[in-house]
A and B are shown apart, each in its own frame.
Chain A
Amino acid sequence: MSVSAKNIDRGDIVGARQHRHGRWAIYLFLIIVCLVQLVPFWLAICQSTKPSSDMSSTLVPRLTNIQWSNFTQAVTEGGILRAILNSVIITLGATVLTCVIGAMAAYPLARRPTRGNKFVSSFILALMMIPPLSILVPLYTFLVRIGGVNSYWGPILVLATSNLPLAIFLYTAFIRSIPSSIDEAGMMDGAGPMRIFFTLILPLLKPVTATVVIMTGVGVWNEYALSSYLLTDQSMQTIAPRVASFFAAQSSNLGVGAAAALMAALPIIIAYMFLQRYFIAGMVAGAEK
């Protein structure tokens, strides 16, 4: 221990000059990357504060006499607030459905690992490989037939289902780590599987539920490919398709498009600021399936 400490100390002294240069280069590089990541937001802010008649540079925002008209127009004509409400409804619906149905499905798959159930598990996992656009034609046709286009329940069911495999996988892994003695205690008290699951197991699933909520919530909130075809009615559209169609319609008026994009990005940025730790933990857990 003391030897290694000495080694590290000496290494620091020997490499001190080189080290300092390296540190500057690292800082410079990191700051450039951060700026690159912020540029789109900056440009959107610049555009959104100007009327389309303003021909001044688009690289600096207006600081005085800011034109809020772009924002009001995005709300009145673009229906951005309505779209945010639609996104809240569909995201909530899909997320709750994914969590409840996913956790329930995971219970027997974790607790009763028969050969049949193992097959069911790997079957569900394999469904994760289906890209949404590969089933666009049949899915759209089917939803038109059952009246699920331009409804809330259609996209809720579709998007909950596409998030189910990952949710079931995460819940199964988590339930396996819960000692079976908890179920056993419930049995002793004469509780059936329903009661054991809902009163004993479900309350223990909070950490993994946080992960599933973030994965599903962010995914559904941002979903565009399917939503843009399932929701074509302006009053039913969620934010991603709404901003895209509004932006396409307002191609000559960049300021309004920028205002709409900023307002659409804001809810998730605010959520991220407050729940950063959970977002990152959820992302990592979801990726390392």
Chain B
Amino acid sequence: MARQQSTGQQSTGRPHAWASRFHGAKINLFYVPALILLIIFLVYPLISGFMISLTSWDGYNPQRLFVGVTNYGTLFRDANFRMTLVNTLIYGVGSTIIQQILGLALALMLNQKIKGRTLMRAIIYLPALVSAVIMGTMYYFIFQYQQGALNTILVALGLDRVVWFQNPHNAVLIIVLVNSFQFVGTSMIIYLAGLQGMDRSVVEAASLDGATGWKMFINITLPMLMPAFTTSVVLNLIGGLKLFDVIKVLTGGGPGYSTNSVSTYISIQYFDNQNAGYAAAMGVVLFLIIALVTTLLNKGLDKLNWQS
């Protein structure tokens, strides 16, 4: 079957032109298992989710009442949903900014010949490897009311205990910080890889021309780090917009609904409030937001790369 000539197909990839002569169309059977899995567990749910979003289904009743786009209308009048949308953006953008600044600074420092840098890199990256739920549980010991580290210090200083998650603004800020610190190692590693992949000859040529310190950093190092910047921003932003685990462990979305992200709000509407149709509509919106951000970001950052 391998010797079967495949006619009339186009082969554009130059080095493989011959291969397509040998490998007939039957070789495409190799990706059929993957496609079957992807269609059953990703594509079908995506379509089925859209269908459910057009009903007022509670998640259990065999009857699903078609209500058109009513759920989407409700969505944009739901003050809680607007709040979760704002929170989601804060989680995404806030974490991305902190992680870029801190991650790049750490990478620049740990790229120098410093004693113990291997150990320090490993320590900084460590929390990123542990499940966010388990890290969240441990971060909780910093903020817990009765025995938490911060309140223990406050009491020792003769001050009153603080309920750290009582104020929604504080709670959102704490979630951003926890998420940023847990995953700052990821940005650091990406920037370190970028720094190590830099063209030595360009750096040497620049230093021959008398570039030092800031000048070198702004004109040479930074532009050459643009690919790493793109990678890191896309990764952090999407991670932040999808934030779920840390919120569930630290605040459970509370007080009230005030710290929910779209992801956690979906799970609450589905499992706690039995609003499957409504939750599905939010799922569709979440998918559209992530798809839009990813596409725009990749396009925008590509342009930036091109210019530098």
B134 to A265, Cβ gap below 8 A? yes
Contact with B along A256-289 (1 / 0, CB 8 A): 0110110011001100100010011001100110
Chain B interface size range:
35 or more
A165 to B232, CA, bound (A): 19
Contacts between chains A and B (CB distance < 8 A), count: 318
User: In the complex, what distance in Å separates the CA atom of A279 from the CA atom of B189?
Assistant: 11
Report the bound CA distance from A101 to B283 in whole Å.
28
Q: Are B131 and A264 in contact (CB under 8 A)?
A: yes
Q: Smallest distance from the beta carbon of A116 to chain B beta carbons, Å?
A: 8
Nearest B residue to A114 by beta-carbon distance?
B9
Q: What B residues does A34 contact at CB under 8 A?
A: 120, 123-124
Contact A133 B38 (CB under 8 A): no
Given A27-B114, A111-B20, A114-B11, are A224 and B244 neighbors across the interface (CB < 8 Å)? yes
**Which residues of A, 223-270, contact B by the 8 Å Cβ criterion?**
223-225, 228-229, 239-241, 243-244, 247, 254, 257-258, 260-261, 264-265, 268-269
Question: Quick check: A115 and B283 within 8 Å, CB to CB?
Answer: no
Contact in complex: B141, A47 (CB < 8 Å): yes
* A142-B45 contact given A41-B138, A58-B152, A224-B132, CB 8 Å threshold: yes
- Docked Cα-Cα span, A134 to B221, in Å, equals 39
Q: Beyond A26-B114, A111-B23, A158-B41, is A261–B2 a contact (Cβ under 8 Å)?
A: no
Give the complex CA separation of A142 and B109 in angstroms.
Answer: 50
B15 on the interface (CB 8 Å rule)?
A: yes
Distance, CA A4 to CA B291, complexed state (A): 49
Instruction: Name the contact of B23 in the complex, choosing from A41, A102, A112, A264 (C-beta under 8 A).
Output: A112
Q: Is the CB of B276 within 8 A of A141?
A: yes
- Specify which of A46, A162, A192 is in contact with B42 (CB 8 Å cutoff): A162
Which residues on A sit within 8 Å (CB–CB) of B18? 180, 184
List residues of chain B with CB within 8 A of the CB of A38.
Answer: 123
From residue B230, how far is it (CB to closest CB) to chain A in Å? 9
B109 proximity list for chain A (CB < 8 A): 26, 29-30
Partner of A124 from B34, B102, B153 at Cβ < 8 Å: B34
A208 within 8 A of B: no
Q: A187-B2, A283-B186 are in contact. Are A222 and B139 (CB under 8 A)?
A: no
| Chain A residues near B237 (CB-CB < 8 A) | none
A261 to chain B, nearest CB (A): 4
In the assembled complex, the CB of A189 is this many whole angstroms from the nearest CB of chain B, namely: 11
Complex CA–CA separation, A260 to B136 (angstroms): 13
A135: Cβ under 8 A from any B Cβ = yes
A138, B48: Cβ atoms closer than 8 Å = yes
Per-position binary interface string of chain B over residues 131-160, scored 1 when its CB falls under 8 Å from any chain A CB and 0 otherwise:
111110111011010011100110010000
Once the chains are docked, how many angstroms separate the CA of A243 from the CA of B182? Answer: 18
Contact A161 B42 (CB under 8 A): yes
* B20 and A114 within 8 A (CB): yes
Residues of A95-120 at the interface with B, using a CB-CB cut-off of 8 Å, are 101-102, 104-117, 120
**Interface: A160 (CB within 8 A):** yes
B9 touches A224 (CB 8 A): no
Cross-chain contact B31 with A244 (CB below 8 angstroms): no
Measured between beta carbons, the chain A residues less than 8 angstroms from B125 are: 280
Inter-chain contact B33/A183, CB cutoff 8 Å: no
A33 within 8 Å of B (CB atoms): yes
- Shortest Cβ distance from B108 into A: residue: A26
Distance, CA A141 to CA B47, complexed state (A)? 13
Chain A residues near B241 (CB-CB < 8 A) = 131
Tell me whether A66 is interfacial, beta carbon within 8 Å. Answer: no
Q: Does A64 contact B (CB under 8 A)?
A: no
Within 8 Å CB of B267, what residues of A? 133, 136, 225, 229
- Alpha-carbon distance A165/B42, docked complex (angstroms): 11
Residue B93 CB within 8 A of the other chain: no
Residue of A nearest to B20 (CB): A112
In the complex, residue of chain A having the shortest beta-carbon distance to the beta carbon of B210: A7
Residues of A within 8 A of B172 (CB): none
26 A-B contact pairs sorted by A residue (CB < 8 Å): A7-B207, A11-B212, A39-B142, A105-B33, A113-B16, A113-B20, A124-B38, A132-B242, A133-B283, A134-B266, A137-B279, A137-B280, A161-B42, A164-B34, A180-B15, A180-B19, A187-B2, A223-B131, A229-B267, A240-B134, A241-B133, A254-B141, A265-B134, A269-B126, A272-B122, A279-B129
Closest 9 A-B residue pairs measured CB to CB? A40-B138, A105-B34, A222-B131, A105-B31, A43-B141, A133-B263, A135-B45, A138-B48, A161-B41
Q: Which A positions have Cβ atoms within 8 angstroms of B?
A: 3-4, 7-8, 11, 26-27, 29-30, 33-34, 36-41, 43-44, 46-47, 57-59, 101-102, 104-117, 120, 124, 127, 129-142, 157-158, 160-162, 164-165, 168, 176, 180, 183-184, 187, 191-193, 196-197, 218, 221-225, 228-229, 239-241, 243-244, 247, 254, 257-258, 260-261, 264-265, 268-269, 272, 276, 279-280, 283-284, 287-288
* Chain B interface residues toward A at CB < 8 A: 1-3, 9-13, 15-16, 18-20, 22-23, 25-31, 33-35, 37-38, 40-46, 48-49, 52, 59, 102, 105-106, 109-110, 112, 114, 120, 122-127, 129-135, 137-139, 141-142, 144, 147-149, 152-153, 156, 181, 185-186, 189-190, 193, 204, 207-208, 212, 227, 231-232, 235, 238, 241-242, 244-245, 248-249, 262-263, 266-267, 270-271, 276, 279-280, 283-284, 286-287, 290-291, 294
